[in-house]
Structure 1
């Protein structure tokens, strides 16, 4: 801190860098800390005499998913943050009850679906799976206030002088970005920073807010949280897959009651760029992934 007479205290450049570093580290560690909290919570309740049913949810970290522990009423939520592929793999092994995945809206999804189908085909009968609609969210470019590099769309990522920060390769957001780049015939080696990765939307936004990159790709809620400008590129459906038989489990019944509630929907709509329009609707695998 620097103290100036009549002006109070200001943060030094080093102090500002340390503050941003703290925020980036916190954003990176948030999923791991929440995983640990969930594990500890479940272990504590295992020792209680009056046990409530447990729902095991494996899903990628996100703002709406992070709301769910507060809505675990009449059941225990064992929430583990995993990539969509790891979640589907766990579901196929019966290591979880629900697996979260992402499907782009209003753009071709064949390549994404093919990657997911690799896990689902391990079952003899694909109809044994059901889709539970969760939320729809806006994905786009996060840039500094006033957009100093005049970034307008995906094509600008390959321009000279533009520094990008990416999501990790197993994330649904990375899969969406790669498809968008492919659709525009943009080579990833043309993008400065494509190989630089962060593990959460918040970490990407913090990276841009700290001035370490000019642009990142992620959800609007993260951009708003870090006072960044947001350029919408695509909408994305966040879905959850379960075995059809699991729909009769008490924990999943209570889970559906909660995500269909007005209270939960209100919380979702408080997140910038999020919609709960079909939250809790059950569909067949074919209807959702076609």
Structure 2
């Protein structure tokens, strides 16, 4: 007997821990069969399970990526000799970059993996990813990313290029009833928080700010409660389940009934593993980042500072 359950695109995105844009892209490519019920797109549970099994097949055929189970299903490009390159991270800008790579860079097929900054760097060290995104604050130096990259990618050859800059800070309930305006305000008694998973940039940002402001994590109710993405954190704040969470401005613009307190501009960088066989697509990707077409697409979304986009920050 067939499974009668079906899902909306939003439910699919939550189940797979991807953006709704990625779900729509899978539907558009025919990799995830769908149908309309009124104005709403739906996907049957059986079709979702079939997609996941195909995706697992692609993952087994390439390098093992234990932290990233969500890879696109097989396509004709993969079977025509194009080499898959793994791009890790959760920001929608990475989905846009992947589409530009697919259209403009020959010989490669971008595959998206959704994982936090630290896990992504560790995967790169293990040889399990080719391009990782990272937004990790070193509280002592005030520097983003490079201190962590140097520590993790020991004896590796890589380039670091900026993708974008964006505001990070706190999600608070509409109207900010508890008057939370700084990191120091997290010491306010009785606060309930929702956290991100270990290794994520938002989790590192929170931990560094707690350390710098001499606030014990054990003092925060809900510190061990985790959401897997920025929208999940903002949604829990908006629902009143918690008082505060750490995340990015973009999520606050998507979730209603939540205010955003901007506290730090974080540099969101890409790390590209530098090998002789990678040099042609590294140059092509940097050209994409610097292109007017790519930047205009990000500007249309809003909320990003592109003043450093495409700039080479470090090369080992």
Q: Which has the higher contact order (CA 8 A, sep 6+)?
A: 1
Structure 2, gaps ≥5 residues long: 1-8, 24-51, 56-69
Q: Distance in 2 between matches of 1:285 and 1:249?
A: 13
Which of residues 239, 242, 260 is equivalent to 1:210? 239
The equivalent of 2:46 in structure 1 is: none
Output the TM-score relative to the length of structure 2. Answer: 0.70
Which of residues 155, 166, 169 is equivalent to 2:184? 155
- State the Cα distance separating 1:24 from its structure 2 match: 8.5
Pair 1:45-2:77 in alignment: yes
The equivalent of 2:214 in structure 1 is: 185
- Count residues with an aligned counterpart: 258
Question: Does 257-266 or 224-233 show the bigger shift?
Answer: 257-266
Residues 127-146 of structure 1: pairs in structure 2 closer than 5 A: 128-146=157-175
Matched-pair contact (CA < 8 Å) for 2:131–2:270? yes
- State the Cα distance separating 1:236 from its structure 2 match: 1.0
Q: Distance in 2 between matches of 1:95 and 1:74?
A: 23
CA deviation profile, 1:57-112 (whole Å, cap 9, x unmatched): 2x221232233233232332112122323322332233322222224499724797
The equivalent of 2:141 in structure 1 is: 108
- State the Cα distance separating 1:235 from its structure 2 match: 1.3
CA change 1:220–1:160 in 2 (3 A) is same
CA deviation profile, 1:241-276 (whole Å, cap 9, x unmatched): 223336853333332232222222223234453212
How large is the RMSD of aligned CA atoms in angstroms? 3.2
| Aligned partner of residue 71 in structure 2, secondary structure | helix
CA change 1:185–1:179 in 2 (3 A) is same
CA change 1:106–1:67 in 2 (3 A) is farther
